[in-house]
Amino acid sequence: MKTTRDCLIFLGQLAFTLLVAAFLIVPAVLSMLAGITSNYFLGVKSGLTLQWVLQVWELYHDTIFRSFLIAFSTLAVTLAVGIPAAYALHLRNDRVSRAVEEIITLPLAIPGLAIALALLLTYGGFSDFRRSWLFILVGHAIFTLPFMVRSVMAVFAAIDVKTLDEGAASLGASPWRRFCDVIVPNARPGILAGSLMVVTLSLGEFNLTWMLHTPLTKTLPVGLADSYASMRLEVASAYTLVFFIMIIPLLTAMQVFAGYRGAASGPKR
């Protein structure tokens, strides 16, 4: 009784899973193809071209540079704020620190639209700030900070930071030196994982950015939305292709790193 029925169930599930994978992958492949096809309506037989990619570069290269600027500035802010915070939260581990942790993870649970509105209502009147890319940076920093803090705290939980810290203290190292020479080097895997996450999220962030941007501070995802609404399909696709090329290395690094870390130590979540 086992074989034929099990075989049918297997094939059925395989076919279903392939269908789901097709649903996710086919449009991504279509968009990459459309970005290098002369005329998408006529299909690939109309010839391959880089003209759309070049046109995207001409029209939107400033958004690409600005997105990188904001992503790396966000990274700098989350590193400077997040690592000390993760250290202090881990060492204190009391009711106050748990409340603080709760507050800084709230931006993950609240839609970006709401946070953006809140920032606009509060700081929209400071027009120099409102008009600069720093306004977007602030939103990205609030949104990505919990990822950095959590990622670093996960490492602290796995490596018994308290004992390391106390050991260094008993040798006479000052708190600042212990932080720089013992804590930060030991937190490296968490810092790296958190950094990859922060940069990837910042490069793709749209919900906050759409509300916070001005015509002079467009980022890549804002430009994407713009091209989806007003450009021909080939240009929109070429722009999406550029975005894929930017984030695929980051995604791959994240997966490789997660696999490596999972195999090596497997810190608890």
Site for another protein in 155-174 (CB under 8 A): 169, 174
Residue choice 67, 71, 150, 156 for contact with another protein (CB under 8 A): 150
Residue 47 or 175 having the CB closest to another protein: 175
Vertex 215: Cα angle to 213 and 219 (nearest 5): 50
Residue 183 or 189 having the CB closest to another protein: 183
- Residues 220, 243: contact at Cβ < 8 Å? yes
Residues sharing a CB contact under 8 Å with residue 56, sequence separation 6 or more, in sequence order: 227, 235, 238, 239, 242
Residue choice 45, 95, 268, 269 for contact with another protein (CB under 8 A): 269
What is the length of the chain? 269
Nearest to 241 by CA among 84, 18, 48, 22: 48
Region 185-204 residues binding another protein, contact defined as CB under 8 A: 200-201, 204
Encoding tokens for residue 266?
A: 């497997």
Region 47-76 residues binding another protein, contact defined as CB under 8 A: none
Residue 47 or 259 having the CB closest to another protein: 259
Residue choice 145, 198, 231, 242 for contact with another protein (CB under 8 A): 145
Q: According to the binding rule CB under 8 A, does residue 18 interact with another protein?
A: yes
Residue choice 14, 44, 76, 180 for contact with another protein (CB under 8 A): 14
- Report the distance separating Cα 149 and Cα 181, nearest Å: 19
